[in-house]
Amino acid sequence: MKNINPRASALILAAAMLLSGCRSAVHPSPGSGNSLASGEALITAEPDQGAESGSGDAFSPASSEETAPSESESLEPDVTLPESESESESESESESEPESEPESEPEPSLEEEEPSYESVGGESGDAKEDIDIDASDNGYIFSEEDDFFFLVNKQYLLPEDYEIETETVQGSYEMEKTAAKYMRQMIEAAAQDGIELKVMSAYRTVSYQKRLFERNVSSRMESGMSYDEAYYDTSINIAPPGGSEHNAGLAADIIDTDHWDTYTAFEDTKEFAWLQEHAWEYGYILRYLKGKEEITGYIYEPWHYRYVGVKYAKAVRDSGLCLEEYFEEYVLSEGEEPSFPWQKP
């Protein structure tokens, strides 16, 4: 046997000791606390950040409608979620908008002295000053305040070439520019009184209205209704394309922040009470009154407000009549058809 160099023996011994230490580190004894399993437990114990995403999806109001809330779509009458003949509900507005025409407050009581068409708006009280329409808007459909006082319903549809200029009222919701101006003023005045008004539907295009109507018919048929039943039930909640005041840019669905998904509860809020007292000052009326469903063709909608102009709003409100009745009683002669701003020479 060959003699081993002492220096080499020392090196071999050191290497053996080092190897033994590494093995101990890789395979620690039980209870050492350095196990891989312990590290894995720390990783898997981290919270799953996506676990509650479903709860966030639950609150997706229309907006715009929309949604409006979208701003979204809102809310159009459908009784499940009110379209009110009710989202600027641009075509991108959320489709969670209500699908039924909103309901409303107790009807205003008739005044002792019946208003006359000629004197309408004569006693405006605290009403805002009459609008000052830009005279340079040659050819624009609304050139004077009287132009806003007309009917839009299932019988009187908007013309195919109807065009308006819109402005933002709240969030992404838009309305015809004059109606928008007064809506913004009304929202601001309410805020000063501690009232928060939330717009859930405003201007919407006719093409959007068509999709909304068809979607609601389909939804009802999927729930078991026949086509005729589904069409009728939709028609008393949602206006036909071109027959909605939202299409005219003159209507908004308004609610409070606590009842975005239950429109009918809006009637019992302080926001609704404020609107009953002050909406006329800004040219707005509650359009679909309780007890007038057979005349308007829509359910009661406490959330749906229509701009008719400061000049006429108080008289209409005080009459206790829906707009169709008011025109028949005070505006039109027997057998006369209503006129419209787009018919002006």
Whole-angstrom Cα distance, residue 195 to residue 270?
A: 7
Helix H or strand E encompassing 216: helix 206-222
- The confidence score (pLDDT) of residue 24 equals 42
CA count, 13 A, side-chain hemisphere, 318: 19
For residue 180, the number of C-alpha atoms closer than 13 Å in the C-beta half-sphere is: 22
Question: Going from the N-terminus, what domains does the chain have, and what CATH number goes with each?
Answer: 60-345 (3.30.1380.10)
Q: How far apart are CA 165 and CA 236, in angstroms?
A: 29
What is the pTM (predicted TM-score) of this model?
0.66
Which helix (H) or strand (E) segment holds residue 306: the answer is strand 301-307
Check if the beta carbon of residue 114 is closer than 8 Å to that of residue 93. Answer: no
C-beta of residue 158 within 8 angstroms of C-beta of residue 169: no
Q: What is the mean pLDDT of each run of 10 residues along the chain (345 residues)?
A: 51 52 42 35 30 29 36 39 41 42 34 35 47 62 95 96 97 97 98 96 97 97 97 95 98 86 81 97 98 96 97 97 97 91 87
Distance (Å, whole) CA 93 – CA 66: 4
